Amino acid sequence: MFRTLGILIKKEFLQIFRNKSILAIIFVMPVIQLVVLPLAASYEIKDIKIAVIDHDKSTESRELIRKITASGYFKILDYGENYKEAYHEVEMDRIDLILEIPNNFEKNLLRDRNEKVLLAINAINGTKAGLSGSYIAQILQDYNQQVQLEISPELESAKKISGLNIVPKFWFNETYNYRLALVPGILAFLVTLIGGYLTALNIVEEKEIGTIEQINVSPIKKSDFILGKLIPFWILSMLAFSIGLIVTIFVYGIQMQGSFLLLYAFISVYLVTILGMGLLASVYSDTQQQSMFMVFFFMMIFILMSGLFTPTESMTEWAKYIAYVNPVTYGVDGVRLIMLKDSGFMDLLPHFGFIIGLGIVVNTWAVLRYQKTN
């Protein structure tokens, strides 16, 4: 058995190293994507284009505008008194947000301590609109507190004596750096992508070039054949993960908080499941095109519903059930817990349990489904 398996593994490695594109996918793609994706997928929005309609043109209105531009998030592209013209700019997608300051703004604010401004936000991009609204709402709140303290300095002393003083502390990410959570998740995603796609194309390639017929008439067992397909890509995927981990640590400066041994143990088990799913797709496909479309369909669902970009807790109830049976959810979460939180084996026991159980199911399914006939 072991001699046959060794020959099959050697054959797979020879085929892999003849194909330069596969080597590029395994060794070059993780580095490029780990460098590019975290820089492109930012949770921060800057250069929000704003139009200011200032009907008051007072000292206080100019101070409000100064605070908005000083925040670094907003860029004023239009300053005038005509709301319709500013709205036309929004329709042409040249402006993201309109701030309209009414007449007697300074007078009402200082005398009555009560005034309203209009915010009109382009909500075509819901995420950008939500963040833009949050940014400017915080600026308006800070500006309002500043004005109230200027009017009534005694409020400063009263504020120190009483009231709720909130001091936030961000555990495991003290500087609230979004890349700290994003990069380990992308690392798990890349391993999933590499392992799933390459194994999905493997058996189908044998069918297309005709060598599957020779294997079918040989005395090779089905289990040996599947293992011979699985092990080489498991080794190469682990190597790709190591390259990605080096980039994560030395390029982004993310310090490893947990155990390297536990991290590699988790990834090794996780890869067995992902490779098994790729092999299962390959067994059910007759051409590489069929296999690619099948893997692409499931990978898109797995990645989008894994919690990599959107927390699973914020999903609707039906989506949560999909996330709970999604192996990528456990892969992304497991890598983050080990790298950022120093979680131990007992903390990851549910993750190990689900991934091992799913791995047994899909790999057994692939072995049973593969029909070794001429």
Give yes or no: residues 205 and 63 share one domain. Answer: no
169 is a domain residue: no
57 is a domain residue: yes
Overall average pLDDT of the 253-276 stretch: 91
Overall average pLDDT of the 10-23 stretch: 76
Give yes or no: residues 180 and 260 share one domain. Answer: yes
Q: Residue 334 has what pLDDT? A: 92
Give yes or no: residues 193 and 319 share one domain. Answer: yes
Overall average pLDDT of the 304-325 stretch: 82
Give yes or no: residues 71 and 218 share one domain. Answer: no
Domain boundary among 128, 161, 194: 161
Q: Residue 84 has what pLDDT? A: 86
Give yes or no: residues 156 and 304 share one domain. Answer: no
Q: Where are the alpha helices (DSSP H) in 152-259?
A: 154-161, 178-200, 202-209, 211-216, 222-250
Total domain count for the chain? 2
- DSSP states along 44-92: ----EEEEEEESS--HHHHHHHHHHHHTSSEEEEEEES-HHHHHHHHHT
Domain boundary among 127, 161, 195: 161
Residue 3 confidence (pLDDT) above 50: yes
Overall average pLDDT of the 72-85 stretch: 86
Q: Which residues contact 327 (CB under 8 A, 6 or more apart)?
A: 270, 273, 274, 277, 302, 354, 355, 358
Give yes or no: residues 12 and 146 share one domain. Answer: no
Residue 165 confidence (pLDDT) above 70: no
Give yes or no: residues 22 and 91 share one domain. Answer: no
Give yes or no: residues 181 and 329 share one domain. Answer: yes
60 is a domain residue: yes
Q: Residue 374 has what pLDDT? A: 40
152 is a domain residue: yes
* β-sheet bridge partners, residue 100: 53, 118
276 is a domain residue: yes
Crossing angle for the helix pair 20-27 and 29-40, nearest 10 degrees? 40
- pLDDT band, very low/low/confident/very high, at 40 (cuts 50, 70, 90): low
Number of C-beta neighbours around residue 283 at 10 A: 21
* β-sheet bridge partners, residue 52: 79, 99
Give yes or no: residues 193 and 324 share one domain. Answer: yes
Between 91-105, 175-189, 210-224, 352-366, the lowest mean confidence (pLDDT) is in 210-224
How far apart, in whole angstroms, are the C-alpha atoms of residue 118 and residue 144?
Answer: 15
Q: What is the CATH number of the domain that holds 146?
A: 3.40.1710.10
Give yes or no: residues 212 and 351 share one domain. Answer: yes
Number of C-beta neighbours around residue 347 at 10 A: 15
Residue 156 confidence (pLDDT) above 60: no
DSSP class of 255: -
168 is a domain residue: no
Give yes or no: residues 209 and 126 share one domain. Answer: no
167 is a domain residue: no
Predicted model pTM: 0.76
What is the domain extent for residue 105? 48-161
Give yes or no: residues 221 and 325 share one domain. Answer: yes
Residue 29 confidence (pLDDT) above 70: yes
166 is a domain residue: no
Domain boundary among 161, 182, 217: 161
Residue 222 confidence (pLDDT) above 90: no
Q: Read off the amino acid at residue 246.
A: I
